[in-house]
Amino acid sequence: MEELVSLCARRGFIFQGSEIYGGINGFWDYGPLGVELKNNVKAHWWQRVVRERDDVEGLDSAIIAHPRTWEASGHVEHFSDPMVDCRTCKRRFRADQVDVPCPEAPAQRQVSECDLTQARHFNLMLKTFVGASEDVASTAYLRAETCQSIFTDFKRVREAARQKIPFGIAQIGKAFRNEINPRNFTFRSREFEQAELEYFVHPGEREKWFEHWRAERLRFHRELGFAEERLRVRPHAPNELAHYAKAALDIEYAFPFGWQEIEGVHDRGDWDLSRHAEFAGRDLGVTDETTKQHFTPMVIETSVGIDRLCLALLCDAYAVEAIPGGEERVVLRLHAAVAPIKVALLPLSKKLAEPARAIERGLRARWNVFYDDSGNIGRRYRRQDEVGTPYCVTYDFDSQTDAKVTVRERDSMRQERVGIDALLDYLRGRMEAAD
Ligand code: ATP
């Protein structure tokens, strides 16, 4: 994990926010390669969940919602963790996470043996004020999850998009939680992104759609190339379920720090729509056109953390391996669909810049391409392996006469001579085959 964190900072994937001020705990910045990775992951999710289906509509709602939203959802009252303070070192811990070494004296005692206060509930929502005054009436919250606006916008979106049950509304966006102990790199942050789908179904079809989305979401993760043995589904035990939930499961990844949730699939019943209907005094039900039955739809939710998914992808892709010549290389075996740079254009000499730049321009119209003409070619390949670039294209002195370039594939390191005319189609074919 330490090696990966250091690679992420050094190569500009992810690093601590506000670094020059010493950082701010739980907030992370995505650099040039990180933002490409993250955008690719989000685009892939949007493609699979929204674009490829005619029964799912997209939404991009405001981060700040009417504060009543969070009363109706139960967050104001219940979205809290029990916490304890250490009277000696003044640190704060989650009451259910005290079986760890005390940060002040790790060799001597566990946090549970410190001088701790009684557990108190600590609300995880971040507060702000809207308007000129800073009082209770102007208090608002940064959303703790993206889905609540999907419920409050349900009627508007359904009518505008002329959708009938079953159908879904999907959204990707920032969420904020004042986590007591942000940790494990981006895994538990205070600002993060979620990609959520709320799928509205007839009460008689809950099980069927829960099973559908379980399979779909698992397929999505497998498609991204996760090692089979590092991905698993963990159904929630009955005593873990929220009081309104009928079924729930976590899709977990074996991170270097243990099995942890990356996505949740939940049957939320009619809890959310009923609560908002009650708090807003609006009818959020639908009428079945054939039976004329009026009912509140049930909700199947899929909720994945984009940052956690990126972290899992990076962990899964990271490898250090021996290569011929007694050397070692670090390689990120990222799926081509999410790799930040798809192709690197590497002319063998600076003298070949002109024709190499022409090829680069042709490819850049389609993909994120990187151009590098300095240094030893082996070292340039290594630098691309380390950031997961699937293909390197080398333009050499022969290219001027045979109109061919060498394409090197990242994982096998196999090299192939390809005609410049056919290069775009060749690369497109390879990338699509991986899709
Ligand atoms: P956890 O138990 O790990 O706190 P949760 O069960 O509260 O997570 P949900 O409320 O179901 O999580 O949120 C859905 C998804 O959002 C999670 O699967 C995770 O990927 C992501 N997520 C939740 N909290 C965080 C966080 N603090 N930092 C990064 N991602 C998060």
Q: Write the DSSP assignment of 356-420 as a string of letters.
A: HHHHHHHHHTTS-EEE--SS-HHHHHHHHHHHT-SEEEEE-TTHHHH-EEEEEETTT--EEEEEG
pLDDT given at position 435: 67
CA nearest to 73, candidates 271, 370, 280: 271
Residue nearest to atom 10 of ligand 1 (CA): 145
Find the mean pLDDT for residues 48-59. 98
Q: State yes or no: pLDDT of 243 exceeds 80.
A: no
| Tokens (6 digits) for 347 | 């002319």
Rounded to the nearest angstrom, the distance between the alpha carbon of 416 and the centre of ligand 1 is 44
pLDDT-derived band at 294, boundaries 50, 70, 90: very high
Residue nearest to atom 24 of ligand 1 (CA): 188
Looking at the DSSP assignment, which residues form a beta bridge with residue 14? Answer: 30
pLDDT given at position 293: 94
Structural domains in the chain? 2-77+127-314 (3.30.930.10), 80-123 (no CATH), 341-434 (3.40.50.800)
- Asked if residues 411 and 333 have their Cβ atoms less than 8 Å apart, the reply is yes
Rounded to the nearest angstrom, the distance between the alpha carbon of 113 and the centre of ligand 1 is 29
pLDDT-derived band at 361, boundaries 50, 70, 90: very high
* 3 state SS of 103: coil
- Ligand 1, atom nearest to 266 Cα: 11
Q: Is the CB of 40 under 6 A from ligand 1?
A: no
Rounded to the nearest angstrom, the distance between the alpha carbon of 196 and the centre of ligand 1 is 11
Q: State yes or no: pLDDT of 237 exceeds 80.
A: yes
80: Cα separation from own chain's centroid:
23
Question: What would the pLDDT profile of 175-209 be if each residue is shown by its tens digit?
Answer: 999 998 888 999 999 999 999 999 999 999 999 99
| pLDDT over 70, % of the chain | 100
Q: Which residues contact 429 (CB under 8 A, 6 or more apart)?
A: none
Residue nearest to atom 4 of ligand 1 (CA): 188
Rounded to the nearest angstrom, the distance between the alpha carbon of 36 and the centre of ligand 1 is 22
Q: State yes or no: pLDDT of 362 exceeds 80.
A: yes
Find the mean pLDDT for residues 210-227. 95
Mean pLDDT (the chain, rounded)? 94
| pLDDT over 90, % of the chain | 82
Find the mean pLDDT for residues 340-352. 96
Q: Which residues contact 366 (CB under 8 A, 6 or more apart)?
A: 424, 428
Q: Is the CB of 302 under 6 A from ligand 1?
A: no
Rounded to the nearest angstrom, the distance between the alpha carbon of 426 and the centre of ligand 1 is 40
As a whole number of angstroms, the distance between CA 75 and CA 67 comes to: 10
User: What are the backbone dihedrals phi and psi of residue 284, each rounded to the nearest 5 degrees, phi first?
Assistant: -105, 15
Find the mean pLDDT for residues 30-47. 98
Helix runs in 251-330, H state only: 271-280, 306-317
Looking at the DSSP assignment, which residues form a beta bridge with residue 16? Answer: 28
pTM of the model: 0.92
Q: Which residues contact 108 (CB under 8 A, 6 or more apart)?
A: 102
Which of 90-94, 140-144, 371-375, 427-431 shows the lowest mean pLDDT across its residues?
90-94
pLDDT given at position 83: 86
Rounded to the nearest angstrom, the distance between the alpha carbon of 249 and the centre of ligand 1 is 13
Query: Where does residue 91 rank: exposed (0-12), middle (13-18), buried (19+ CB within 10 A)?
Result: middle
As a whole number of angstroms, the distance between CA 158 and CA 202 comes to: 15
Question: What would the pLDDT profile of 98-122 be if each residue is shown by its tens digit?
Answer: 888 898 888 999 999 999 998 888 8
Evaluate the CA torsion angle 181, 241, 308, 41 in order and state its sign.
Answer: negative
Query: Where does residue 350 rank: exposed (0-12), middle (13-18), buried (19+ CB within 10 A)?
Result: exposed
- Ligand 1, atom nearest to 177 Cα: 27
Amino acid, single-letter form, for residue 282: R
Q: Is the CB of 173 under 6 A from ligand 1?
A: no
As a whole number of angstroms, the distance between CA 112 and CA 232 comes to: 31
Pairing between β-strand 415-419 and β-strand 404-409 as defined by DSSP bridges: antiparallel
pLDDT given at position 329: 94
State which of 25, 96, 261 you would mutate to test the pocket of ligand 1, scoring each by most atoms of that ligand within 8 A of its C-beta.
Answer: 261
CA nearest to 170, candidates 332, 58, 3: 58
Distances (CA, A) of 173 to 148, 303, 312: 12, 11, 19
Q: Is the CB of 263 under 6 A from ligand 1?
A: yes
| Tokens (6 digits) for 294 | 């009026």
Q: State yes or no: pLDDT of 238 exceeds 90.
A: no
State which of 194, 236, 272 you would mutate to test the pocket of ligand 1, scoring each by most atoms of that ligand within 8 A of its C-beta.
Answer: 194
Residue nearest to atom 25 of ligand 1 (CA): 188
Q: Is the CB of 305 under 6 A from ligand 1?
A: yes
pLDDT given at position 282: 96
As a whole number of angstroms, the distance between CA 297 and CA 1 comes to: 43
* 3 state SS of 241: coil
Question: What would the pLDDT profile of 142-165 be if each residue is shown by its tens digit?
Answer: 999 999 999 999 999 999 999 999
Residue nearest to atom 31 of ligand 1 (CA): 305
How many other CB atoms are found less than 10 A from the CB of residue 136? 8
- The conformation of residue 136, written as its DSSP 8-state character, comes to G
Distances (CA, A) of 247 to 207, 237, 244: 9, 9, 9
